[in-house]
Amino acid sequence: MLCELGPEALDALKGAIVVLPAVAYANVGELAIDVLVATLRPKSLGAVESVNVLPVVGNDAYDVDPSPQQPQQPGRLATALELFSVPGRPLVFLQQRAPAALGRQSAFAAELVGWLVEAGAAALVVLSGLDAGLRRDMQLDSSPLRYLASSEELRAACAAAAAGPQATGPPAMELEGEIREEELALHHSLPPWPLVSECGKRNLPHVLMGCFSAEGDNAGEGLRLAAAAMQLLATMRPGPGAGAGAGAAMAGAKGEAVLEMAGVGAAALALRAPPSWAGLYGRAFPAEIF
């Protein structure tokens, strides 16, 4: 991982829960990170570079802190990998806007997870789309949200998020074994599975939070997945000795939840999409034509 980030970024990563997308089905993970960044308005820590990720550049992805005192400056660059931290909370977002190069998924996963472990990250939350075509009858009539946790403590945090008072809509459910096996058989070399596998190898606590999706206008799935991530983060608490391999995100642990470090809980935050979504899926059709 080639990174020109300064000591502030490394300090932010130490003991933090890192939330990032898997550039996977329907790009739902990236959409969810967009919503989380637009909602929480974290501080930008700069761009991250990797030889394993295709380059991309754009501008004005977010309207971070547009106020009379600090008006939005047009032309702010957005790159393939960008890091953000929420001040006062052990929470970092890594947005990924471009896929890994062909045949470099495993190398990128090893590079990224190794970098986070060396930086002392406490846990990883991976947001991803899941192929709706793989659903069985029992999945068609239930929540589209699924999670997969690396430990009993994180599984308890996921269950607490699904049942908590801040939950809205159908709760997330644990990913069924047969769906996971089919995903691994069909897509083991594609995101999010190389990241999940590498976290296991490096003993980095992790949660995969996914949403069954079909390709198309996936703004709704992005918002739904972002809401589920907020609910999860509201139940996660940095454990003692935060760092790779530590009990870093235990439900019921003492201390403030990740999204309550500054006195703001997930239920008090209204999700918002960034203005850059305005033309994401084209213009809406007037209802009168149907």
Q: Which two tokens stand for residue 139?
A: 């999945």
DSSP, collapsed to helix, strand or coil, labels residue 281 as coil
Residue whose C-alpha is closest to residue 208's, from 122, 135, 129, 105:
129
The packing angle between helices 105-119 and 193-201, to 10°, is: 40
Question: Side chain identity at 50, as an amino acid letter?
Answer: S
Rounded to the nearest 10°, the torsion over CA 70, 76, 79, 83 is -10
Token pair 């130490």 in the structure block, residue = 14
Rounded to the nearest 10°, the torsion over CA 104, 107, 112, 116 is 170
**pLDDT for the residue 36:** 95
**Domain limits, the chain:** 12-270
**pLDDT for the residue 279:** 73
Cβ burial, residue 228 (10 Å; 0-12/13-18/19+): buried
Residues 261, 6: Cα–Cα separation, whole Å: 24
Q: Mean per-residue pLDDT for 42-66?
A: 85
Q: Mean per-residue pLDDT for 131-147?
A: 81
**pLDDT for the residue 247:** 45
Q: Mean per-residue pLDDT for 252-257?
A: 56
**pLDDT for the residue 261:** 40
Strand ranges (DSSP E) for 50-162?
57-59, 77-79, 81-85, 91-96, 123-131, 145-149
Strand ranges (DSSP E) for the chain?
2-3, 17-21, 43-49, 57-59, 77-79, 81-85, 91-96, 123-131, 145-149, 173-174, 206-213
**pLDDT for the residue 215:** 86
Give the CATH number of domain 12-270; options: 3.40.50.1970, 1.10.150.20, 3.40.50.10900, 3.40.50.12780: 3.40.50.10900
Q: Mean per-residue pLDDT for 237-256?
A: 50
Residues 197, 110: Cα–Cα separation, whole Å: 9
DSSP output for 28-51? HHHHHHHHHHHHH-PEEEEEEE-T
- Higher pLDDT among residues 166 and 181, named by residue: 181
Cβ burial, residue 182 (10 Å; 0-12/13-18/19+): middle
What pLDDT digit, counting tens, does each position of 87-128 carry? 888 999 999 999 999 999 999 999 999 999 999 999 999 999
Residues 278, 94: Cα–Cα separation, whole Å: 22
DSSP, collapsed to helix, strand or coil, labels residue 221 as helix
Cβ contact 267:95 at 8 Å: no
